[in-house]
């Protein structure tokens, strides 16, 4: 356990629990965009909505989103015990665990802004491989990452508890882990002055993201990957 404790996502687990709910109007804008991206995916792909497994569910901040999107049963895993207790108030089931400890199979698995907190490349691949093992043959794994090319002025950024990588790296990691990328969907566009975000700008950005979403990733600051397991 000594070696494992040095892995970033284990060492930092107590510090990673901030969500869009902690960011005021900016957080609401991001969440609205993400919901539109998820709806776009659900409208275009045969994703099962009976049950969803949310990896790194924190305190259950996505519970209302999943309900709005039509998911019937919400299952979460979260390594932070304090967050688990809160998540159990809004999810149907929550386990204090890492994905590597799961044994069941799921049709739909999500990891919202989770992978960026895994600093080591090899651990990202192992994480994806562990998720693949939990997917049914016809299941989908949806996961989001920031689009470095637009979000950080084109540079990879490594912080104490997060790491932003180029999309080609994530594509390569997914391939090594045995995941097929079905599509890549832009979620939100980063405002140039988020501290001065006005309601009009909010609505304009929502409209712009809706228009761009089905075209390409230009302008987007985050990408939602839709993947399946390679059998």
Token representation of residue 124: 């990202």
- Report whether pLDDT(159) > 90: no
β-bridge partners, 108: 140
Note the pLDDT tens digit of each residue in 97-126: 999 999 899 999 999 999 999 999 999 999
Query: CA torsion, points 166, 167, 169, 174, in degrees to nearest 10?
Result: 150
Residue among 85, 63, 65, 82 nearest 74 (CA): 63
Report pLDDT digits (tens) over 165-217.
999 999 999 999 999 999 999 999 887 644 455 545 677 888 888 888 888 89
- Report the CATH number that the domain containing residue 41 is assigned in CATH: 3.40.50.150
Distance, CA of 204 to CA of 202 (rounded, Å): 6
Overall number of domains in the chain: 1
Q: What single DSSP character describes residue 221? A: S
pLDDT for res 182: 97
Expressed as residue numbers, the domain containing 47 is: 4-229
The kind and range of the H/E element at 182 are strand 179-186
Percentage of the chain modeled with pLDDT above 90:
63
CA dihedral 84, 90, 95, 98 (to 10 degrees): -70
Using a 10 angstrom Cβ sphere, with 0-12 exposed, 13-18 middle and 19 or more buried, the burial of residue 168 is exposed
């Amino acid at each position: 356990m000594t070696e494992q404790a040095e892995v970033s996502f284990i060492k930092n687990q107590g510090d990673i629990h901030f969500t869009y709910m902690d960011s005021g109007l900016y957080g609401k804008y991001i969440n609205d965009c993400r919901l539109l991206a998820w709806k776009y995916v659900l409208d275009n792909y045969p994703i099962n909505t009976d049950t969803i497994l949310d990896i790194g569910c924190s305190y259950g901040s996505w519970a209302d989103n999943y309900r709005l999107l039509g998911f019937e049963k919400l299952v979460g895993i979260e390594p932070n015990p304090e967050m688990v207790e809160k998540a159990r108030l809004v999810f149907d089931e929550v386990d204090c665990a890492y994905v590597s400890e799961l044994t069941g199979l799921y049709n739909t698995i999500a990891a919202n802004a989770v992978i960026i907190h895994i600093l080591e490349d090899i651990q990202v691949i192992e994480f994806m491989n562990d998720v693949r093992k939990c997917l049914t043959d016809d299941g989908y794994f949806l996961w989001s990452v920031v689009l470095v090319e637009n979000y950080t002025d084109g540079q990879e950024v490594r912080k104490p508890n997060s790491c932003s990588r180029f999309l080609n790296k994530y594509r390569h990691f997914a391939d090594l882990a045995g995941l097929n990328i079905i599509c890549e969907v832009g979620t939100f566009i980063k405002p140039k002055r988020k501290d001065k975000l006005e309601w009009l700008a909010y609505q304009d950005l929502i409209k712009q993201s809706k228009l761009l979403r089905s075209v390409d990733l230009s302008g987007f600051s985050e990408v939602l990957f839709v993947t399946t397991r390679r059998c």
